[in-house]
Structure 1
Amino acid sequence: MTYATYIRASTDDQTDAHQRESINEWLREHDVDPATVDRYADLGQSGASDDREQFNQLLEAIDSGDYTHVVCWEISRLSRKGATLQRFFDTCEDTGTTVVITDGAVEKVTPDGQGRFVADIIGMVYQQERRTLIRRIEAGQSRAQREGKWLGQVPAGFTRDGDGYLQPIIDPDHDAGETGYLELRDALERIDDGESYRSVAAGLPITRQSLSNIYRDDERRRWYLEAASDDDAVHDALESVRT
């Protein structure tokens, strides 16, 4: 018999120790020599993504008939997408590969179909949970936009306050790499007067390229030179510096 193991951790700092411990314990209990086991791991990878190098390599190896057993900690480590789980289990069934789950509602999914029904239900639950999460995120973003909160990357010279609203930085912390709103206004005025991007950027914690990008963007340039914007969130934030 030939064995492979698979581990997935969804964030770079999420430990995979508990997964390895559970899998290694199963291998010891079934007298499997660890030296003969091929190990696959995707760290910092979401279970909602199919673009996982090690997972796809494992799937190709299974499809080639390389393994009789694949051991993982929990079904969600394989995927949180129902279609991907079905494809994985279909491939294992076609090649006579048993999937062992060391910590879950089902202990194994065998080529003859044992455990497959429960595994498919779990996959559908994951899929529904993912859809619900996406809907909640989208609803939260829509609500934040309606309330005038700033979403996405904070532009230079601004910060996002504790309530999520955009605010101009009046007293910048240069040690922390902040650039003040008024500093940028002065910098763009100097460029308007004919100074070069390089000379103006030399006195600011901002690159020449970033300064150039702001100046060449008509809408963003208005934020600083006119304290005006067609974006309601930016327009409201500039109330404190509007003269």
Structure 2
Amino acid sequence: MFMELRKCGFEPDDVTMVSVISSCGSLGDLDLALQLHKCVFHAKSLVKSDILMLNSLIDLYGKCGRMDLAFRVFLRMKQRNVSSWTSMIVGYAMHGHVDEALECFCCMREAGVRPNHVTFVGVLSACVHGGKVQEGRRYFDMMKIDYGIMPGLPHFGCIVDLLGRAGLLEEAREIVEGMPVKANVAIWGCLMGACEKYGDVKMGELVAKQLLELEPWNDGVYVVLSNLYASRGMWEAVDRIRGLMKQSKLAKIPAYSLATSSD
């Protein structure tokens, strides 16, 4: 539609560019991103700030894995809002640049910009990538105490994943059970992956029960539980799980497995 707009002789404005850049970000097409960057400067609004377009560019480059280009756009911005900083933090976290993400968050606070719930998803994700347990706990508490932001499922998912990867299974389970909202498959899945990684059969069985209550058809749960039993040499339990799969007419989907924290 954007190409048709240009062919018809219309000039895109800032609203058009934000929409197109967002679409390009979903594709992760860097070549197209570089072309659109040129169009941005021709679409600047004389009435409004171009902050929305530049934020979209930062997000776009982040999704394309070019945080160097995202940072260049960020540096040249005359105005920055919470979305500007958050896009940088999320981009860094997404690609494993842990120190850069946390440093950016620190600079954001020093600049007096109040983080939002998305910002903390990025910060906690960075902690997960870097295995920074103490920092993750501190930021999780900071979100609630300092900024009054109630954690949502993404935040709980990050902290459970962080603790699970570090082998702190009991603490992770306590957080899941103390959540004000019901844990979803993704959160229980993080804990299940940790149980498999550290060979915790007892907790693995409890988590598997929760997962199967949410998704009785999920063959991946049986597969991970079977692997967990096998890692402990519990071959009778392995045969029992396989029997349950046959009885329920569940067959493992080819080239598919339940995502775990050890992936």
Quick one: higher RCO (CA 8 Å, sep 6+), 1 or 2?
1
TM over 0.5: no
Structure having the higher helix fraction is: 2
TM-score w.r.t. structure 2 length? 0.25
Larger-gyration structure (1/2): 1
